[in-house]
Structure 1
């Protein structure tokens, strides 16, 4: 499976970049799935829903199905978070999986960077960052730098990198 990441510090524009890349790449006829890493407990279910009640009762997995989508929730119940490689095996085959977060994993990435965050670039110390998408022009980088809003160029770069 072809995978490519978008990484960066909080509020650097990762999610917006992911959203725009998915739209651009699917618009070119490729199938795309995404993986989003959260560092905190993320709740996608809501109290009062039947599925929430099933989980609260102790179910390990709850699959919710409707005529327009289905979702599988898996409760870790104290087990360790599975590694990214294991999670990727749960996805159906697609042309490209875009991964948001997982900055320390070994897959190639584009770093989203906005000067207003005041955070340093990850690229100089992270060899998996193959390009930077920024609202400024950082100097002294050994990787390509794209305007954060030039989605066409960033998508072209990623698709070339993965051989699509």
Structure 2
């Protein structure tokens, strides 16, 4: 299983890029899973539903299954947040995992940068950034693709993704 991250400041367009990148990779026959880091409290369950009641009542894990999908929710209940490596080990095997967020971790990353954000580039300070997806050419020698070119970014993803053992 190879891993690549999309790292950038909030508002740079990581999620928008992900929505265009995943179909481009899928069209090439690449099986992809994703991990998204959230910086705030979030919920994937609906208040009042049975699974929500189970979780709110104190269940550590709740698995919900139907003929279309299954989902496993884990409540940390005061335990520390698991790191990226531990989360990757929870996934079923797949060709590629694209990580959105975890910008401070050491996995290989593509920096997503948008000039209008007014934020500094990440890559001069992060040696794990292997390429850039931006609305302007970046400073320095890293490979670059326009934010609007999902196929070129897919090429960068496939070229720079690496197995966990390699990072």
TM-score (norm 2): 0.93
Could you tell me how far apart the structure 2 residues matched to 1:161 and 1:110 are?
Answer: 8
- Report the number of matched residues: 162
Could you tell me how far apart the structure 2 residues matched to 1:19 and 1:5 are?
Answer: 14
8 Å CA contact 2:7–2:103 kept in 1: the answer is yes
* Aligned residue number for residue 72 of structure 1: 72
* Aligned residue number for residue 52 of structure 2: 52
- Return the offset for 1:62: 0.3
8 Å CA contact 2:61–2:74 kept in 1: the answer is yes
Q: How far does the alpha carbon of each residue in 1:19-40 deviate from its partner, in whole angstroms, 9 at most, with x for none?
A: 2111110111110000000111
Could you tell me how far apart the structure 2 residues matched to 1:161 and 1:116 are?
Answer: 26
- Return the offset for 1:46: 1.6
TM-score (norm 1): 0.95
Quote the RMSD (CA, aligned, Å): 1.1
Alignment gaps of 5+ in structure 2: 163-167
* Aligned residue number for residue 88 of structure 2: 88
